[in-house]
Amino acid sequence: MTEKSEFTKNRQKRVLLIMSSNSEMGISGKQTGTWFEEVASPYYILTEAGYEVVFASPDGGAAPIDLLSMKAPFTTPNTERFLKDEVAKFAVENTRVLNNVNYDTFDAVFFPGGYGLLWDLASDSYVIRLIEDFARTERPIAMVCHAPAILRDVKKANGESFVKGIQLTGFKNDEDTEIELLHHLLFSLEDELKLRGADYISKTNWESNVVEDGVLITGQSPASAPSLAEALAQRLAQ
């Protein structure tokens, strides 16, 4: 075995966690950002499994957290733990500028959800190319809640929509409607992915639901974040 291959075998695997930099829900004036539980639980599950987690966002610096997700009943033991964790808080407050990140040095990418990403990550050409490159090189792509909306404009090598014929999940129209936000959104994740040929699989509102198809691992709602992170950790261990 060469020295290089020995290093590759023994090095710590790395996960790039990409957050939105957007804090406003269009012209509605409503505050948004990334959903806190979808950052906190994956961060702890992945780091405690032995993986390095690096935070990045389009603008870098402090990535906005959806304030609603910081209030009961949406808080969890991991969000409470995160707020007391100086290292974790520093990571969210000092995310790396995404365009400056060499994503070829990462073994997987994780996209937490929240509404903010509909206005930036979903139309970010760098993000779209990143996902296409991860798919091409067969590195895991994990997305939860509204994050699968980013797949709307991702393409396969043959020019077809990436999601055509792919099983996936994501936040339901019914879930957006239940919290009276569907009419404020830039577009519907469920509608757009179905339109592009995705095999969209959902469960009861707010129920944990993780769907795996090839390199893509998706979770339906915030309750899916821990299971999604566990599935990614297991994939990286293989």
- Compute CA distances 205 → 66, 121, 132, 138, 221, whole Å: 20, 25, 30, 31, 8
- Mean pLDDT, residues 174-187: 66
Token output for 12: 């710590």
At residue 29, does pLDDT exceed 90?
no
More confident residue, 182 or 150: 150
- Mean pLDDT, residues 168-192: 77
Q: What is the pTM of this model?
A: 0.93
Look-up of token digits 């929240």: 114
CATH for 40:
3.40.50.880
Q: What is the pLDDT of residues 206-236, one digit of tens each?
A: 899 999 999 999 999 999 999 999 999 999 9
What confidence score (pLDDT) does residue 234 get?
98
**What is the 3-class SS of 114-179, one letter each residue?**
CHHHHHCHHHCHHHHHHHHHHHHCCCCEEEECCHHHHHHHCECCCCCECCCCCEECCCCHHHHHHC
Average pLDDT, the chain: 92
Could you give the CA distance from residue 160 to residue 139 in angstroms, rounded to a whole number?
20
CA 180 to chain centre: 23
The values of phi and psi at residue 82, to 5°, are: -60, -40
At residue 84, does pLDDT exceed 50?
yes
At residue 33, does pLDDT exceed 70?
yes
DSSP secondary structure letter of residue 218: E
At residue 190, does pLDDT exceed 60?
yes
Could you give the CA distance from residue 223 to residue 73 in angstroms, rounded to a whole number?
12
The model's confidence at residue 184, banded by pLDDT at 50, 70 and 90, is: low
More confident residue, 207 or 142: 142
DSSP secondary structure letter of residue 209: -
What confidence score (pLDDT) does residue 206 get?
85
What confidence score (pLDDT) does residue 162 get?
98
Residue type, 29: G
Rg (CA), the chain: 17
Which residue range(s) make up the domain with 171?
3-237
Could you give the CA distance from residue 63 to residue 96 in angstroms, rounded to a whole number?
10
Orientation of helix 37-48 relative to helix 86-93, angle to 10° = 120
- Mean pLDDT, residues 92-110: 98
Burial of 173-212, coded b for 16+ CB within 10 Å and e otherwise, reads: eebbeeeebeebbeebbbebbeebebebebeeebebbbbb
What confidence score (pLDDT) does residue 70 get?
96
Among 3-12, 24-33, 218-227, whose mean pLDDT is lowest?
Answer: 3-12
The model's confidence at residue 18, banded by pLDDT at 50, 70 and 90, is: very high
Token output for 235: 């994939």
Contact predicate 227/153, CB 8 Å: no
At residue 7, does pLDDT exceed 50?
no
Could you give the CA distance from residue 64 to residue 82 in angstroms, rounded to a whole number?
15
Number of domains composing the chain: 1
What confidence score (pLDDT) does residue 26 get?
75
What confidence score (pLDDT) does residue 175 get?
76
Among 1-5, 16-20, 70-74, whose mean pLDDT is lowest?
Answer: 1-5
At residue 77, does pLDDT exceed 90?
yes
Could you give the CA distance from residue 161 to residue 98 in angstroms, rounded to a whole number?
24
